[in-house]
Amino acid sequence: MKYDFDQLIDRDTTHSTKWLKFSDPDVLPMWIADMDFLCPPEVTNPMIERVNQGIFGYTDTPVSLTKLFFEHVHKTIGWKIEEDWIVWVPGGVVGLNISCKTVLAPGDIALVPSPIYPPFTEAPENMERGFVKTFLKDINGRLEFDVKEIKELLSDDTKMLYLCNPQNPGGTVFTNRELEDLSALCQENDIIVCSDEIHADLILDDNLKHTPYASLNSYAQENSITIMGPCKTFNLAGFPIAAAIIPNEELREDFERNSKGIVAHIDTMAFVAAEAAYRSANEWKSELIEYLKTNKTLLSNRINDIEGLSLCGPEAGFLAWIDCRQSNLDSPVKFFVEEAKVGVHGGEFFGNEQYVRLNFGCPRSILEEAISRIEKAFSQRK
Ligand SMILES: Cc1ncc(COP(=O)(O)O)c(C=O)c1O
């Protein structure tokens, strides 16, 4: 390996949200979705050069960034987008909120699959729009849509479906077939899909491939907003930058109009980081995926040996959705944090308190320490 993902980096002095969360210094933080790896030097070196230049100021979207991103999507995902379709926004969550404001009029409803990363349910609340949850089914550890339930939930007011693919927290990479079923349903009911595909670059199973929802057919293309970006792929979380891909010109103009005056400029350093990442960090990304695959195997093998716990995925990303339903714990998150001293994210945050989400995007020695603590705590359980 050219890059050292085993390296331990002290983040205590950086105001890291992840590392500041737990007041007990013995708790290993493994919750929020940023990774404890150095960013690729191919990204940090151009950033250092830009800082050394010393003037920042308002910055136009670099044409070269749009071109690099467009090539990245084509080469790595196989989706042929057009440069005109891309609207840069300061972050994926901003994209979810603008989409909601754009697609839904007051009184309209978004369908939100749960469990899910909370900004999906917060966006309709922020925008004073309605939402209805559809519950994903856990099929042998894989979260899947319940199309029958979705059909029952649809009303004349349902105008948007939020999709998160790969799914957070479950890590499902939805198949063509699953997406086609959704697309057929959306076409029958005039529904626009806002598809957050921010984890799409990190597929961990060689037999799986990411299918962008919008690439399925012309209806899906013309009736969708896809959110992608560099923040998970290159460990640039915290930088306000993501791409909204909107093929339909009218929808794209509405989206841009709804951003005006509310959405901040994308900052200069985020542009520099994103451009450098898409230009030169592909080899880093490939090595990251191999490292994450080994971490995932290590974690799932040992978690599945613990009575009461089970872990099947994730098929993509670095977040493990651990099923604690058989553990008979009143509060799995409390047990993980207080007894095992492993700072996982409580499942209730996403919509199911019988699960915990563990971030394994960390050096292997940290992961091994966390697993040993979990094993010990469960073995000593009274
Ligand atoms: C599915 C998904 N979308 C969006 C985000 C956040 O994106 P951003 O930080 O660019 O707002 C996350 C972060 O965990 C995520 O998992």
Start-end of H helices in 176-263? 176-189, 218-222, 249-259
Which of helix, strand or coil describes residue 103?
helix
Q: Report strand pairing: 242-245 vs 224-228.
A: antiparallel
* Nearest CA owner, ligand 1 atom 6: 92
Query: Measured in angstroms, how far is the CA atom of residue 377 from the centroid of ligand 1?
Result: 31
Does 164 contact ligand 1 (Cβ within 6 A)? yes
- List the beta strands (DSSP E) in 60-207: 86-89, 109-114, 130-135, 137-139, 142-144, 158-164, 192-196
Token pair for 260: 């005006």
- In CATH, what is the architecture of 56-280? 3-Layer(aba) Sandwich (3.40)
* Domain residue ranges of the chain, discontinuous segments joined by +: 12-40+282-379, 56-280
Q: Quickly count: other Cβ atoms within 10 Å of residue 327's Cβ.
A: 18
Query: Measured in angstroms, how far is the CA atom of residue 232 from the centroid of ligand 1?
Result: 8
Does 231 contact ligand 1 (Cβ within 6 A)? yes
Query: Measured in angstroms, how far is the CA atom of residue 338 from the centroid of ligand 1?
Result: 27
Query: Measured in angstroms, how far is the CA atom of residue 81 from the centroid of ligand 1?
Result: 22
DSSP state at residue 148: H
* Nearest CA owner, ligand 1 atom 7: 92
State the virtual CA torsion across 176, 179, 183, 186 in degrees, nearest 10. 170
Does 33 contact ligand 1 (Cβ within 6 A)? yes
For the packed helices 119-126 and 92-103, what is the interaxial angle rounded to 10 degrees?
40
Cα distances (angstroms) measured from residue 341 to each of 43, 267, 345, 377: 34, 37, 12, 9
Token pair for 82: 């057009």
Q: How far apart are CA 95 and CA 193, in angstroms?
A: 13
Q: Which of 198, 226, 321 to mutate to test the pocket of ligand 1 (most atoms within 8 A of CB)?
A: 198
* Nearest CA owner, ligand 1 atom 16: 168
Token pair for 140: 């042998």
Query: Measured in angstroms, how far is the CA atom of residue 260 from the centroid of ligand 1?
Result: 21
- Tens of pLDDT along the chain (382 residues) come to 899 999 999 998 999 999 999 999 999 999 999 999 999 999 999 999 999 999 999 999 999 999 999 999 999 999 999 999 999 999 999 999 999 999 999 999 999 999 999 999 999 999 999 999 999 999 999 999 999 999 999 999 999 999 999 999 999 999 999 999 999 999 999 999 999 999 999 999 999 999 999 999 999 999 999 999 999 999 999 999 999 999 999 999 999 999 998 888 899 999 999 999 999 999 999 999 999 999 999 999 999 999 999 999 999 999 999 999 999 999 999 999 999 999 999 999 999 999 999 999 999 999 999 999 999 999 998 7
Residues 6+ apart with CB under 8 A from 317: 33, 166, 168, 171, 199, 202, 204, 232
Residues 6+ apart with CB under 8 A from 90: 240, 241, 242, 263, 264, 265, 266, 267, 270
Q: Degrees (nearest 5) of the Cα angle 365, 368, 372? A: 140
Topology at the third CATH level for domain 12-40+282-379: Aspartate Aminotransferase, domain 1 (3.90.1150)
* Predicted model pTM: 0.97
Token pair for 80: 């042929």
Does 117 contact ligand 1 (Cβ within 6 A)? yes
Q: Which amino acid is at 31?
A: W
Query: Measured in angstroms, how far is the CA atom of residue 151 from the centroid of ligand 1?
Result: 28
Rg of the chain over Cα atoms, rounded to whole angstroms, equals: 21
Atom of ligand 1 nearest to the CA of 237: 9
Token pair for 261: 């005056």
Please answer whether residues 342 and 369 qualify as being in contact, where contact means their C-beta atoms are separated by less than 8 angstroms.
Answer: no
Residue 5 is predicted with a pLDDT of 98
Please answer whether residues 216 and 178 qualify as being in contact, where contact means their C-beta atoms are separated by less than 8 angstroms.
Answer: no
